[in-house]
Structure 1
Amino acid sequence: MKKKVGNGVHTSFWEDSWINDIPLSQSYPRLYALENRKHITVAEKISEATLIASFRRAPRGGVEEDQFIQLVELVDSVILSNSNDRWVWLLDPSGEYSVSSARTYIDDLLLPTVGSPTRWAKVVPIKINIFAWKVCLDKLPTRLNLSLRGIDIPSIVCPNCSLAGESCSHLFFSCSMARLLWRKVARWWDFDIPEFSSYEE
């Protein structure tokens, strides 16, 4: 959230994030130390003859002078209006809060990035898209996955070829029966399908 200044009456000049992403008290700590009225509003501060009117003394050279020049340049661009101050939501261009924007932010922050993006084909039934997504994430109830979830399985070996564990990758791309089916489907469609060894390929 960020304060959007209208008339400046309900926004703290030093302590609210209204002109920068952080409060001015953090951007200009030496000037904040000179301020007698720490809770002064934007409206009150800008209406004063100068920005140093409420300081206990004028800024002296060095860092104080540099910070004061920067602050003057920053505040010179501020034009107050007749509207009230309000909070705006930074995660949405409209400035209005939405669950969708919050969820997107949380997902981007917390969820791990996936190597290859999921591709949803609009011309394919949704159940096929979901099935492909489960294959991509290796979330089908294959023998290997069932065994990893603690379900007692007599054998995790692929029952079709008996050459490897029955995982999604093996079942659809490595198994000799899967490769044979790929070739038969390709011949049936009269279409050249290259051989794949993984979903990513």
Structure 2
Amino acid sequence: MVLKLDSGKTPGLAPQFFDIYILCNEHNMTIQNIWAGSQLKLTFRRNFNSALMHLWYELEAIANNISFSGSLDAFIWKYENTGVYSTSCLYTIINFGGVQPVYIPAVWNLHIPPRVYIFLWLLCHNKLMPRDNLKKT
């Protein structure tokens, strides 16, 4: 995996760690090029204060969690279990804020009228008609 440290076409880590980036002597480098196996090989124009050291430790923690391979990077859709983008998933996120209706089987053990069962089933499966459609009928 290659992550740009500079702020070129892809944002990379430079915006997140800009205070360190402006002091760094190695610009336009990838993490893969500056990784020494257990630490980053970077030089700086001046010493760090405690706030910059905290940022440095965060950057090293991110670099430690990266696993490099010879394969190309790929986009992964984090809102889908398969990692593949789908328009139905995006529609759900946009309209429902990513909240999925929850089906609770215990509802069927309640002693309520059948019309309430039907209403709850429609509600759990997101099948209720929108207000605009209800007004038309």
TM-score band by shorter chain is 0.5 to 0.7
Residues of 1 paired with 2:71 and 2:53: CA distance? 33
- Larger Rg belongs to: 1
Residues of 2 paired with 1:77 and 1:134: CA distance? 46
Residues of 2 paired with 1:52 and 1:45: CA distance? 5
What corresponds to 2:94 in structure 1? 106
Match of 1:76 among 64, 74, 77: 64
Residues of 2 paired with 1:48 and 1:57: CA distance? 23
Amino acid at match of 1:63: A
Aligned 8 A contact 1:30 1:63 in 2:
no
RMSD: 3.5
After the TM superposition, which residues 120-135 of structure 1 pair with which residues of structure 2 at under 5 Å, given as runs? 120=122, 133=129
Identity of aligned residues (%): 17
* Cα offset, 1:42, TM superposition: 2.5
* Cα offset, 1:105, TM superposition: 1.6
Tell me the number of residue pairs that the alignment of Structure 1 and Structure 2 aligns.
Answer: 111
Residues of 1 paired with 2:72 and 2:88: CA distance? 27
The yes-or-no answer on 1:30 pairing with 2:19 is: yes
Residues of 2 paired with 1:134 and 1:64: CA distance? 52
TM-score for the superposition, normalised by structure 1: 0.43
TM-score for the superposition, normalised by structure 2: 0.58
The yes-or-no answer on 1:56 pairing with 2:44 is: yes
Structure 1 segments of 4+ aligned residues over 6 angstroms from their partners: none
The yes-or-no answer on 1:87 pairing with 2:79 is: no
Aligned 8 A contact 1:31 1:59 in 2:
no
Aligned 8 A contact 2:6 2:29 in 1:
yes
* Cα offset, 1:79, TM superposition: 2.0
Consecutive unaligned residues in structure 1, runs of 5 or more: 18-22, 110-116, 122-129, 142-201
CA distance 1:133–1:86, change in 2 (3 Å): closer
Residues of 2 paired with 1:67 and 1:138: CA distance? 55
